[in-house]
Amino acid sequence: MNLNMTLIGELIAFIVFVIFCMKYVWPPIIGAIEARQATIADGLAASDRAAKDLELAQEKATAQLKDAKAQAASIVEAAKKREAQIVEEAAVKAQAEKEKILASGHAEIETERNQAKEELRQQVAILAVTGAEKILERSIDAAAHSDILDKLVAEL
Amino acid sequence: MSSGAEITSQEYIKHHLTNLSVGEGFMTVHIDTLGWSVFLGLVFIMLFRSVAKKASTGVPGKLQCAVEMIVEFVDDSVKSTFHGKNPVIAPLALTIFVWVLLMNAMDWVPVDLIPRIFELFGVHYMKAVPTTDPNMTFALALGVFALIIYYSIKVKGIGGFIKELTTQPFGHWSLYPVNFILEMVTLLARPLSLALRLFGNLYAGELIFLLIATIGLFQLPVHFLWAAFHLLVIPLQAFIFMMLTILYLSLAHEDH
């Protein structure tokens, strides 16, 4: 082994190379690498977030669909109920109408009957007076005895 | 094979393991080691700088992808071992890893190719794998060692550093000199083992390549096998050097 001035020369070359590498080579390259790593990490995080968002959106959509279905079902249910109600109500109304019509018919018949009765009474009264006149052979003062006749009529 | 027919395999190997050098004694400079290492260092710096200049945070190009792969690999290695904040360690680890890897990779170049090309221009010695030169590996190890000392003192203070060297593993004051010797051995073993491991592995690998080159026609399959084996050795040694650098520096940051 012969160590000599070459060693000093190599040492100087070594120092120069290391300093140059430290100043002009290492920082830009490692900077570019780290910047790219950050970009990639960001991208991956964003895609992760997007995937999560998508999952969330899908879940939301499913929930909404379920809700909508339930709502539709409930609407149909309500409609059916309402239909039954309307039918029932119509039936009840019709029944009531029928009863009203019947009642009014009865009432009319009643008044007509009463009227007929009244007429009949009056005619019977007249008939009775005429009959009595004929029986007594004399004229009876209709005005003086009308209270008796009225009582008679009321008793009919 | 080598140039002259009369050259023995021993001379051949010796010739290939001789550096192109100028100067005498300690003032010797290995032109080939220095030249190739600086060239490969520039390849690393230019390549990575060109990517760094155009670095986009969007979709990267193919070259940027490749460079970023290496940078991220080094960054992960640093982060898994060193937990503090230090702007030097990661670029240091990157420089060591890529530079050592490139220098080790010169081992794959057929052992005669580069020397023969240079011989055409009248250059007779050319050792193209810088990490087979202990000067190279020791330079790296000493650079790391200097940082170990620097950060030890910076984090723990000079008193804390001395305390760490003397008060453990034995707690009693009379054993402090023994502690100091033990801790010094541990401390000094770090750069030594860093340098010698890399040098030893690559030098041995190069030597075997040269030995294989002397056995004639059979060298082709054997050479292939050895080169394939170096698919493991070359990146592994670069990785070990980087990992141990990170480890030693993170130990220097630990305050007891």
Going from N- to C-terminal start, the domains of chain A cover: 25-155
Instruction: Sort B199 into a burial class: Cβ within 10 Å, 0-12 / 13-18 / 19+.
Output: buried
Q: What is the pLDDT of residue B110?
A: 86
Q: What is the pLDDT of residue B220?
A: 86
B190 among known catalytic residues: no
* Interatomic CA distance for residues A29 and B172, integer angstroms: 50
Q: What percent of chain A has pLDDT over 70?
A: 95
State the alpha helices, DSSP H only, in chain B: 9-16, 31-54, 62-81, 89-105, 113-120, 134-166, 176-213, 219-253
Q: What is the pLDDT of residue B111?
A: 84
Query: Chain B, 140-169: which have a CB under 8 Å from a chain A CB?
Result: 140, 142-143
Chain B nearest CA to A23, separation (Å): 9
Q: Do B28 and A35 touch (CB under 8 A)?
A: no
Q: For residue B164, count other CB atoms closer than 10 A to its CB.
A: 18
A143 or B11: which leads in pLDDT:
B11
Q: What is the pLDDT of residue A140?
A: 59
* Interatomic CA distance for residues B210 and B206, integer angstroms: 6
B56 among known catalytic residues: no
Q: What is the mean pLDDT of chain A?
A: 89
Q: What is the pLDDT of residue B256?
A: 59
**If you search the block for the tokens 């020369």, which residue do you land on?**
A9
CB-facing half-sphere around the CA of B12: CA atoms within 13 A: 21
Selected for mutation to probe chain B from A1, A11, A24, A29 (highest B CB count within 10 Å) is A29
Backbone phi, then psi, for B20, in 5-degree steps? -75, 115
Q: What is the pLDDT of residue B43?
A: 94
Q: Does B177 touch chain A (CB under 8 A)?
A: no
Q: What is the pLDDT of residue B94?
A: 94
> What ipTM does the predicted assembly reach?
0.88
pLDDT in tens, chain B (256 residues): 444 456 788 888 888 888 888 888 788 888 888 999 999 999 999 999 999 888 877 788 888 889 999 999 999 999 999 888 888 999 999 999 999 999 999 988 888 888 888 888 888 888 889 999 999 999 999 999 999 999 999 988 888 888 888 887 777 888 888 889 999 999 999 999 999 999 999 999 999 998 888 887 888 888 899 999 999 999 999 999 999 999 999 988 887 5
Q: What is the pLDDT of residue B3?
A: 47
User: What is the per-residue pLDDT across A17-54, written as a single tens digit (0 to 9) for each?
Assistant: 999 999 999 999 999 888 999 999 999 999 999 999 99
Q: What is the pLDDT of residue B214?
A: 86
Residue B209, CA distances (Å) to A119, B127, B224, B227 in order: 158, 13, 10, 8
Q: What is the pLDDT of residue A141?
A: 66
Confirm if B48 and A25 have CB atoms less than 8 A apart. Answer: yes
Q: What residue spans define the domains of chain B? A: 9-253
Residue B18, CA distances (Å) to A9, A95, B59, B104, B198 in order: 18, 132, 48, 18, 18
Q: Chain B residue with minimal CA distance to A15? A: B143
Q: What is the pLDDT of residue B6?
A: 60
| B191 upstream amide cis, omega within 30 of 0 | no
Q: What is the pLDDT of residue B4?
A: 47
* Interatomic CA distance for residues B140 and B130, integer angstroms: 12
Which tokens belong to B159?
């008193």
Reported pTM: 0.73
Q: Do B140 and A17 touch (CB under 8 A)?
A: no
**Overall average pLDDT of the A73-98 stretch:** 95
Q: Do B55 and A29 touch (CB under 8 A)?
A: yes
Q: For chain A, count helices (H), then strands (E).
A: 3, 0
Positive or negative, the Cα torsion across B52, B54, B60, B66? negative
Tell me, what DSSP letter sits at residue A145?
T
